[in-house]
């Protein structure tokens, strides 16, 4: 039986990360989550972090802006999965530098979950965002880091509750007109 990969998840308390961590644990991989120390005191995320601990996840404290903490965390694992949200996509440059310095990663999955940014026909403002993600891809490739890009298209569960209207926090209600 092949040895299980040690997996580090960044963005583990976010929308996708919690599911990636759950799946990794379920498959028997030693699973690590890099979290900020301030996240532990977040009212909602603290419960999620406690569930990680109880399922055997190793919590590592660090931050994308702290190169030393990134390198230290990466040296403990074989695979890095980034599930960072859109606002942090460019911060993956710091992660790439840390992976390169650590020199031990067998596979890196950057935060790519969505449209294939090298094969799209998007218009602004999303085209600029996809260009940023494409730059991250080029940086990974330039550093020679083994990678896998996961392009899964859109997640309906993310958009449906607000019908793709940004900053809306509750489902919209529209009048329904019935006719005979």
Per-residue pLDDT of the chain (180 residues; tens, 9 = 90+): 678 999 999 999 998 999 999 999 999 999 999 999 888 888 889 999 999 999 999 999 999 999 999 999 999 999 999 999 888 989 999 999 999 999 999 999 999 877 788 888 888 988 888 899 999 999 999 999 999 998 877 655 555 566 556 666 655 544 444 444
Annotate 93-113 with b (16+ C-beta within 10 A) or e (fewer).
ebbbebbbebeebeebbbbbb
Spatial separation of the C-alpha atoms in residues 106 and 93, rounded to whole Å: 18
Q: Is the pTM of this model over 0.75?
A: yes
Respond yes or no: is residue 133 known to be catalytic. yes
Given the residues 47, 53, 72, 133, select the one marked as catalytic. Answer: 133
Q: Which domains does the chain have, with CATH numbers?
A: 7-162 (3.40.50.720)
């Amino acid at each position: 039986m092949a040895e299980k990969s040690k997996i580090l998840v960044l963005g583990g308390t976010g929308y996708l990360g919690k599911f990636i961590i759950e799946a990794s644990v379920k498959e028997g991989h030693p699973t690590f989550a890099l979290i900020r120390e301030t996240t532990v005191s977040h009212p909602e995320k603290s419960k999620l972090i406690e569930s990680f601990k109880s399922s055997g996840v190793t919590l590592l404290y660090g931050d994308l802006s702290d190169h030393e903490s990134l390198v230290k965390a990466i040296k403990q694992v074989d695979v890095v999965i980034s599930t960072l949200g859109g606002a942090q996509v460019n911060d993956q440059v710091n992660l790439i530098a840390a992976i390169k310095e650590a020199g031990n990663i067998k596979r890196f999955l950057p935060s790519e979950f969505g449209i294939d940014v090298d094969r799209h026909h998007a218009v602004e403002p999303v085209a600029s965002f996809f260009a940023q993600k494409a730059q991250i891809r080029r940086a990974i490739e330039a550093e020679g880091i083994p990678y896998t890009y996961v392009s899964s298209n859109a997640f309906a569960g993310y958009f449906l509750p607000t019908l793709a209207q940004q900053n809306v926090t509750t489902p919209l209600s529209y009048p329904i007109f019935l006719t005979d």
